Structure 1
């Protein structure tokens, strides 16, 4: 190589930038300007104009390519330079190009190194761009992917202490859990997760760190709280699927495990989470009644009695599980499984209170109201029975209320004669002997309580009845 300013410039660049692509014959080269920020840089893209954009943050941005060629008269004449970027705006590239020529104009000497140094300084401040950097969807996905690859390369070259075996290992032999940043060697995680999944201990497949174990337990407790899934303007079902059925560790992270272990984890995790959710929210989870299907269904609207299985498309009634019979009241709709203390609490709240709305969101507004009304009527009925305002037939159990007449009753359903006062059977042939027997507790009480009798005029009228 001739001893000229051009040759000296290339030799200097080769020593400073060993990864540079230099061509001695044409006195040209390409230098990649890395763009790395210690603080995360926001990026965004709007899928649809005038809608909320999608955001992410990254540390590595796609690099800037710097091309140069040194003319024979260099450095008396400026080098030919060009810039290439997959994402920088054209105006920014034009301004950068002009600033490079100004560097030569200021020094009129060997300036390629100064140009590269200037570009690196500009990269450090993101070329004056203000985050979040607006991108197209393709650019956004590329940026996220590129950042992930660069972070992995950086991680692989470092060394870490595994928090399980406490051995010092290279990053390429380790895995870092992104949510908590805890690092373990692959060998330890492989043994631990494989053992848990094989044994069916799916709840243990998360970061093994003690604090993370506590956090997962607290998160599971939060999942059992009805208020977790009370939403406004969003799909409750979508929220449930996102919160309950998203594993603590992604399937991408678990891909280092054998495929059969990952498949078993998916199956058991989905099954266990569904059973957990169903046990805490029985009104929101139901299995398809088709025997050959049995798919677990998450209901979005608990006020809708119609359920359509997303797997086999069978449409059925939530109450009787028979094929959908329309919006008419199902004969089993009153057989509700809401605890009595909840119904009592619901009726104690003011009509339009937030406490009432929360319970309605959890159990379903119409279902809860029907259950509360039925329970309230049952309470009143029991009170009337306790106050002897009603008597049940000793044969079939049908309840009767005497509005007038004597105390010899005949059940309107089974025609059994019985005493309204004590509820005992009466002889069909001689029903009045019960009231004429001195041993009977109802002796001479045939007309007791009958309107117009002397005894009745002396007694207060029973509550709930009017003359």
Structure 2
């Protein structure tokens, strides 16, 4: 074969390859040399350990594989193409790189001395989807920042070019106007997210600051997954105002503290701050809060014949044992004893729990209101008050379903069966009792006992007054 024919065959192959891959660059000084970058986007993010910090990052994108192609004079009849592979920065192990280079010669031999560039590049693209067979990677820490930044930048650039249908407004939007949820990957337009989350946080409904997809967090059978709440860090990425995100973080922390029976409050009536605790650290910088440990996802199991619930909410206990008595208020820094609520008197001073008669007038009024106007959750004991609507309640803290009238646990799959079953005489066909107000409503359970006690107390006073009047006459 003449040199001109070989030259034409090499030129035709590179020209054909360039028509398939427009990003292929042919060297202006040497028409038989070319370069091409292959996108490395593993179908499953690749765990990368950076030493010596032992920091593990799961990267969705890695710097492209740069291919340098040189077609020798006797290619393809007598010799295979010359291939050089590299990455910047260098992350691909040398043994893997050499194996990929050797594949070009093996492929050429398999084709019996034919043109192989298209098949070779296609093979590299397919292998790039599995990170060239790598299940994990160990790299020096000095390139961690560059690789992480590259992955985030490329991920955003590719996302911005796509078009998505927002799951709320159902309108097609460019990725640049959308946001993909970090944990579940559902996509919504930024305007819908901001409107919904701003309203939730403004109204204090922080338990609904989660993915808005109706399919998110669902599982089959009688089990359901606990919804993931967004972290303050992710809310800022949507983006949302920092002031709003700080309000979200503070309300969320306040709800957790109030539902924790181990938290003691400052005895100073003008303060009433919570005790310091590592469990609920004070919020200093919302940009660093990801709540990865405090929002662990757990399954909730609910059975028909009683509640078997394990969702991370601790049941309130009576009394405390084996606890240190010293506590410090996080607001006014008062050191006090958690047993007697006096200023700290040391470990060797015997003290007694404060008597209920020592409650302040405000504390007693608050306690009386809670006992008279709320029904406790049968699982976590958080007081719940109904403003209107039916008597099927869902606890805002642990999401337990219960009856507002008698305090009984309800099956979340069939919550209204309780009101249609004659064996529950007190609640039978009373689903809407008290829908407009609680005046005149007869309760069962603890509130029923409180009502009965109040009635007989008033009745006893009435009889006593009547007897006094008769004696006077």
| TM-score, length-scaled by structure 2 | 0.51
Relative to structure 1, the CA distance from residue 96 to residue 183 in structure 2 (aligned partners, 3 Å threshold; closer, same or farther) is: closer
Q: For 1:91 and 1:67, how far apart are their aligned partners in 2?
A: 18
Deviations 1:165-218 (A, max 9, x none): 222323332222233333322222222233343455444433234566999xxx
Aligned partner of 2:159 in structure 1 is 155
Structure 1 residue 84: Cα displacement: 0.9
The question of 1:101 aligning with 2:105 is answered yes
Secondary structure class of the residue paired with 1:275 = helix
> Residues 306, 48 of structure 1: CA spacing in aligned structure 2 closer, same or farther, 3 A cutoff?
farther
Among 19, 34, 44, the alignment partner of 1:29 is 34
Match of 1:298 in 2: 277
CA 1:327 to 1:83, structure 2 compared with 1: closer, same or farther past 3 Å? Answer: same
CA distance in 2, matches of 1:196, 1:15: 53
In the alignment, which of 335, 343, 348 is matched to residue 328 of structure 1? Answer: 348
Q: Map 1:327-346; keep pairs closer than 5 Å.
A: 327-329=347-349, 331-333=351-353
Partner of 1:279: 258
1:67 deviates by 1.4
CA contact (8 A) 1:176 1:184 kept: yes
> Aligned in 2, Cα 1:186/1:80: closer, same or farther, shift over 3 Å?
same
Equivalent residue of 1:297, what SS?
coil
Report matched runs for 1:388-399 at 5 Å: none
Q: Is the 8 A contact 2:326 2:337 kept in 1?
A: yes
Rounded to whole Å, the distance in 1 between the matches of 2:198 and 2:34 is 51
Map of 1:264 onto structure 2: 244
Instruction: Map Cα deviations across residues 319-355 of structure 1 (whole Å, 9 max, x no partner).
Output: 4666644322353556699xxxxxxxxxxxxxxxxxx
For 1:22 and 1:311, the matched residues in 2 are separated by 69
The corresponding residue for 1:255 is 237
Q: How many residues align?
A: 302
Q: Distance in 1 between matches of 2:273 and 2:204?
A: 22
List aligned pairs for 1:113-132, cutoff 5 A.
Answer: 113-129=118-134, 131-132=135-136
Relative contact order, higher structure (CA 8 A, sep 6+): 2
Using the TM superposition, give the Cα deviation of residue 7 of structure 1 relative to its aligned residue in structure 2, in angstroms: 2.9
Secondary structure of 1:25's partner?
Answer: coil
* Alpha-carbon contact 2:166-2:173 (below 8 Å) kept: yes
In structure 2, the partner of 1:385 is none
Question: Structure 2 matches for 1:63-462, cutoff 5 A?
Answer: 63-71=64-72, 74-75=75-76, 78-85=80-87, 86-104=90-108, 107-129=112-134, 131-137=135-141, 146-210=150-214, 248-259=230-241, 262-266=242-246, 268-284=247-263, 286=265, 294=273, 297-298=276-277, 303-307=323-327, 316-319=336-339, 324-329=344-349, 331-333=351-353
- Kindly state the Cα deviation for residue 16 of structure 1 after the two structures are TM-superposed: 1.5
Whole-angstrom CA distance in 2 between matches of 1:193 and 1:9: 56
Q: CA deviation at 1:23?
A: 1.8
Q: Is the CA contact 2:46–2:60 (under 8 Å) kept in the aligned structure 1?
A: no
Counterparts of 1:91 and 1:311, CA distance in 2: 59
In structure 1, distance between residues paired with 2:161 and 2:141: 31
Secondary structure of 2:233's counterpart equals coil
TM-score by length of 1: 0.51
Deviation at 1:91, TM superposition (A): 1.4
How far has the Cα of 1:248 moved from its partner? 2.3
Verify the 8 A CA contact 1:157 1:171 in the aligned structure 2. Answer: yes
Q: What does the per-residue CA deviation read over 1:386-424, in whole Å, with 9 as the maximum and x for residues that have no partner?
A: xxxxxxxxxxxxxxxxxxxxxxxxxxxxxxxxxxxxxxx
- Computing the radius of gyration from Cα coordinates, the structure with the larger value is 1
Deviation at 1:89, TM superposition (A): 1.4
Q: Runs of 5+ in structure 1 lacking a partner? A: 216-220, 223-242, 338-467
Q: Which sections of structure 2, spanning at least 5 residues, go unmatched?
A: 220-224, 280-320, 358-473
Cα distance in 1, alignment partners of residues 157 and 130 from structure 2: 23
- Contact in 2 for aligned 1:71/1:79 (Cα 8 Å): yes
